[in-house]
Amino acid sequence: MHKTKRHFSSLFQQYTFVCILLLSCFSLPVKGQDKKPIGDSSQVIPDTLLFKIQKAQSSITEINTVTKKGHNLDHINGQLDEIENNIAPVKADLQNLNKSIDSKTLNGYNLILKKSQETLDIWRTQLSRSTNDLQKMSDEVVSLSQDSLLSVNEKDSSTKRLYNKQLLDLKLKLQHTGKSVSVDLDTVSSTLAKVSTLLFEINDLQANINERMQASSKSAFGKESPYIWSAPKEKPQESLGDLLSSSFKGQNKIISYFVNSTWDNRILLLLFSIGFFIWVYLNFKKAQNPEVKQKLGDIQLDHIKPIPILSTLIVLINLTPLFEPDSPSLYIEIMAFLLIVILTIAFWRNLPRSEFKNWLIIVTLYILITFAAATVRDSFLIRICLIILNLSSLYIGSKFYLKLQYVQIAKRMLKPVLLMFLVFNLLSVIFNVFGRISLATTFSLTAIIGLTQVIGLVAFILILIDAIELQIRISAYNEGLFSRVNLEKTRASFKKVLSLLAVILWLLVFMINMGISEGVFTLFEKILTKPRNFGSVSFTLNNILFFALILYISNWLQKNIEILFGEKSIGFSNVIEHKSSKLTLIRLIVAILGILLAITASGIPLDKLTVVLGALSVGIGLGMQNIVNNFVSGIILIFEKPFHIGDYIELADKKGKIKDIGIRSSRMITQQGAEVIIPNADLLSNRFVNWTTNKAYVKSEIILKVNSETDIETIRKIVEEEVGQAKGVVKKMAPEVLINNISADAIELKILVWINNIYAEPLFKNHLFTRFLLRFKELGIKVV
């Protein structure tokens, strides 16, 4: 046994040795084939060289494309000359240290410099970006030019010499591209230097203006001129024409610049006004249609005409401050004068003579005060004229205040403005007496412009209300948008919105006339954009404002989405009417998008939002299960569609028509007119009956008790005859007369009739009972 084991072990060792020897013999040639001779680069050099050539050509093409497009240098250089011409008179006036510049002119100069600064900032950013890009291109060209693999020399291998023609052509292209990039870089850098120099100069001028405005504000409250009793009595050496010319000398440059630089806003305003004209004109044309006229009658509107030229001009001028909030004060005065002219033409046709005379008094005051404010100086005579005008304004304003005879919307707006008019004229007198001429003229102009503007805004509101009323009537006739809304509530909402717009427009003009518009806008901008911290969360009031506004708009949209899609409110009638339940899905999408947009606008980081969602999940687990359950049930109802809006359903002890499927709950209106709010979870979990599914018939049940001696066959014949003649009955299904109960002196009969419509059941039963009573009386059948 041991010998056998030893013999087997010896054979196994020999067999193993032979196998290892054979494997080693077969593996040696394979390893030898895998090795490459050292220094054989015949394959490496062409592959790398081709890649380099392709990369260089691609870079050259890209660089040439960029350089051909240019960098908007012609436009910038042309505009630079224009900006230099615009600021030249500003620079000349500010460099004259002995020249006194009034606050209005300083504000206008600041407007010119601000617009120029914004433009130059944009150009500097663009040119800086172009300079960086060109510098990177130049470095890339230099790097490719210095690449030894792309160069040609006598020591090149035979394989590389095959590409000499391509390499030489590439070298020429690199030289040409390098020159063009270098030229572009020099030109862009030169233009950037000009822009930066001009920007620094404008910053210096703005600093000078700020210093002068601070000094002007201090001197305005200080004594500028002698007291009225110490004022020089002699006539001014300058004529009135010279005084007017010097007053508007600085302002005309500002007006010219403003008109030229804000033409786009003016075109937008003009397009809006043209749209208003076409809108009113077409609505009047529709109202003249015989069919519309027969239904609506003659439409009499007091403040708009079939060709609304004057109305359009009044709307255009009143909206000017909204489209051009940076207007200089002289521009506002010109717009106010144009508004006065147009209002005078309109009032001459429409106002009673007594009220038109009052308006002419206001117009006269405006012209005289504007003229006096432009020519007032230290002279006693001119200052006395301004005081007389202020006292006349006080008398006239108090008289108007006591006898307001306008409509209510005008009364609410006119009273506070008349109070301001009286107070400002009184302050003007006081400032004039004590030598504060600048404040006296500012308060006088602001008072009279504010009064004329508020009258124009009243006309503006009345015009728009009439235009909307015309649209409401036309839309109601055509079953448009306004036929699906509450008209009284809509009219009230429009009045509120227009009144708010009028207040904003009046405040804009008031701030411009007082010279505080820029300061107020800057203050609000700082308040809204200042970073604030609440724990580790950083936010601004601007973010919160946008957050609330987006939520409000999305909430309004999801509530009124059915109106926008042409759906009417469901009512209870005998007509089957369905509304698409897709509107509920759209409402859900609008609500979710509104929340997401509001969160994005709030600036809350997503990592902080996860904390809020975590806290919300805890709230759901603790006490919001029902809300989430109803919310999810609403989504399931939208997709599963067990019923539609307008279906007649029966749930527990309630029957009625589905009026609305909401996100959390649905509403049902009963036959009695009551509105029942049903949580969506109840609709999904409880059993309900849908009586208005497609082609669904309704089996109506009628119970009768007759005398026990009555012939049942006679009753059956009467039922068959009367049911056969009734409307809304399914003719192919015969009525059934069943004995439901028997007592000592009565038989209770159950009559089952198939009808087409659940809504027709009450009228159907009424008809049958009426016919049964007549037939039973004829045959002497007693009903128990």
Quick: pLDDT tens for 297-341.
Answer: 667 788 888 888 999 999 999 999 888 877 777 788 888 899 999
C-alpha–C-alpha distance, residues 503 and 417, integer Å: 11
Give the Cα separation of 288 and 282 in Å (integer).
10
Burial of 436 (0-12, 13-18, 19+ CB in 10 A): buried
Token pair for 24: 């080693």
- Summarised one tens digit per residue, pLDDT across range 400-421 is 777 655 444 566 778 888 889 9
Report yes or no: 327 and 515 within 8 Å, Cβ to Cβ.
no
Please report, as a single letter, which amino acid is at residue 560.
N
**Per-residue pLDDT reduced to its tens digit, 498-555:** 888 989 999 988 888 887 877 788 888 888 888 877 766 677 888 888 888 888 888 7
Helices and strands, number each (H, E), in the chain: 25, 10
**Secondary structure (DSSP) of 373-398:** HHH--S-HHHHHHHHHHHHHHHHHHH
Locate 685 and state its tokens: 């979990």
C-beta atoms surrounding 601 within 10 Å: 18
The whole-angstrom separation of Cα 773 and Cα 751 is: 15
Residue 601 has what pLDDT? 76
pLDDT of residue 338: 92
Domains of the chain in start order, with CATH, are 47-221 (no CATH), 241-286+309-526 (no CATH), 532-690 (no CATH), 698-779 (3.30.70.100)
Using 50, 70 and 90 to split pLDDT, how confident is the model at 213?
A: confident
List Cα–Cα distances, 516 to 174, 277, 498, in angstroms: 59, 34, 25
Beta bridge partners of 750: 703, 738
C-alpha dihedral sign at 554, 556, 558, 564: negative
Mean per-residue pLDDT of the chain? 76
Q: Which of 441, 570, 466, 455 is nearest to 502 (CA)?
A: 455
- For residue 341, the model assigns a pLDDT of 92
pLDDT in tens, 665-700: 788 887 666 788 888 777 777 777 776 655 556 777
Using pLDDT thresholds of 50, 70 and 90, give the confidence band for residue 375. Answer: confident
Q: Is the pLDDT score of 162 beyond 90?
A: no
- Residue 490: CB atoms within 10 Å: 14
pLDDT at 458 over 70: yes
Q: How many residues does the chain have?
A: 784
Nearest in space to 247 (alpha carbons), one of 372, 90, 409, 112: 372
Residue 10: pLDDT over 60: no
* Structure confidence at residue 53 (pLDDT): 77
Q: What are the CA-CA distances from residue 128 to residues 65, 84, 121, 137, 187 (Å)?
A: 19, 21, 11, 14, 12
Backbone Cα Rg of the chain:
45
Residue 101 has pLDDT above 70, yes or no: no
Of residues 459, 666, 484, the one with CA closest to residue 563: 484
Q: What is the pLDDT of residue 621?
A: 58
Q: How confident is the model at residue 624 (pLDDT cuts 50, 70, 90)?
A: low
Average pLDDT estimate for 225-244? 62
What pLDDT digit, counting tens, does each position of 566-583 carry? 555 544 444 444 455 566
SS (H, E, C) 499-565: HHHHHHHHHHHHHHHHCCHHHHHHHHHHHHHCCEEECCEEECHHHHHHHHHHHHHHHHHHHCHHHHC
How much is the pLDDT for 302? 80
